[in-house]
Structure 1
């Protein structure tokens, strides 16, 4: 699981026997994302993310993953400030759900809540939010975490359907972002996809109306509009260097 989850190191099933004395104290510290330059996003986040991040499609054209670009300098996140402060206005849900994550569905269709046991925000000294009550029952905080994770998973499934439609309609094409470093060096960020405007214009009326009714057309134009954020991201990286 961990290899597919970016900054998660040791996801472990949550249970009162193991985590009965564990508390979570995030305190607005996002340092765990410092070495991540992109994260997946859900379709419901496009409007928030398009205002400040470039939205692209990662993976391959057959199974694209909507993602936001957070940095241009290797794996460095340009939106992390001092003491792990988030420098952007909106924090993607993929990041906000940390250190928790739901496992994939088993054969019975159920999922298990996991927590990254290597997360710096975990402690057994009572700082922050307790995961369990003294009698071993999930705390109100943990119940809220589980609800958020379930809502996130539901949005993830909707987003997969949107990405699948883009793939089936063959709307994605490889793209690259060109930028200049503070020293004047020309560089290129590539390895992701964007919706091809001409192919989008060539869609038949039935496909367009279907995307419109599912709010997928709105997501697509938000994605295209967000590409102007590459310039602002390059400036942010330059100022931080």
Structure 2
């Protein structure tokens, strides 16, 4: 559904030597995400994201992961206005953490904080939030970024466990969604999966009880309810074109 590279162009390991004079201009604009029609979300985001986004599952097998649909075309984000502001109720964490990201080591256990040096807000003019102080120590801003990214990674692992359970239980099925814009144009969105309600109902009581205790069952209901946001998404097409 979405470009696998998304909006990261040149993510490099962050260091006090190479990036000592770097600052991040945080102006609240999201032009960097203007051409992605979906982004991954983690389990902890299901409830807030479902307020105005459709949550579906992309990929197959071990690569299955939940995403929120942001646009109806390949390079379209209907939640980013022409002035680069975000017009939705919830901004996905994948977007909020940009231009930072963790790179996983070859041992699959160690992680290195990286920064996309091509992000337009990166500068050496002391504009915005500095990453390191004059002694090369992390600033409070960078410490906050690190904590946020660590929490995201922990939630990512939990979400992988959820997806593995869905695959193991064969609960996902390919899905198509039809929509109509305010101008009368119609279309069809595909390339994603959703939970099959009937298969969910047929699960053994022991499995359902286990999923209830881990909140996984609630997350699936949130996912299914969020699919009602697909038609409101189509109604954003007109405002994006203005």
Quick check: 1:100–1:113 contact (8 Å CA) kept in 2?
yes
Give the match for residue 216 of structure 2: 216
Question: Structure 1's 16 and 41: CA in aligned 2 closer, same or farther, altered over 3 A?
Answer: same
Question: How far has the Cα of 1:51 moved from its partner?
Answer: 1.1
Q: Which residue of 1 aligns with 2:232?
A: 232
CA distance, structure 1, for counterparts of residue 42 and residue 142 of structure 2: 22
Structure 2, gaps ≥5 residues long: none
Instruction: Note if contact 2:23-2:122 (Cα within 8 Å) is conserved in structure 1.
Output: yes
Q: Distance in 1 between matches of 2:106 and 2:62?
A: 24
SS of 1:187's equivalent?
Answer: strand
Are residues 1:161 and 2:140 paired?
no
Equivalent residue of 1:72, what SS?
coil
The unaligned stretches of length 5 or more in structure 1 are: none
CA displacement 1:188-225 (0-9 Å, x = unmatched): 11000000000000000011011111110010000000
Greater Cα offset, 106-115 or 20-29: 106-115
CA RMSD of aligned residues (A): 1.4
Q: Provide, for residues 74-131 of structure 1, a one-character-per-residue CA deviation record: whole Å limited to 9, x for no partner.
A: 3210011143111011111000000000111332822110000110110110010001
Partner of 2:199: 199
Partners of 1:235 and 1:183 in 2: CA distance: 9
- 2: CA distance, partners of 1:179 / 1:48: 23
Q: Which residue of 1 aligns with 2:50?
A: 50
Q: CA deviation at 1:182?
A: 5.0
- Which residue number in structure 2 is paired with residue 13 of structure 1? 13
Question: Post-superposition shift, 1:50?
Answer: 0.8
1:123 pairs with 2:119: no
Partner residue of 2:99?
99
TM-score, length of structure 1 as denominator length: 0.95
CA distance in 1, matches of 2:205, 2:87: 41
Name the SS for the 1:83 alignment partner.
coil
| Residues 190 and 109 of structure 1: CA distance in aligned 2, closer, same or farther (over 3 Å) | same
Q: Is the 8 A contact 1:63 1:167 kept in 2?
A: no
Give the aligned length: 239
TM-score for the superposition, normalised by structure 2: 0.95
Give the Cα separation in 2 of the matches to 1:195 and 1:236: 26
Counterparts of 2:28 and 2:209, CA distance in 1: 42
Flag the 1:95–1:172 CA change in 2: closer, same or farther, 3 A: same
Question: CA–CA distance in 2 between the matches of 1:105 and 1:202?
Answer: 40
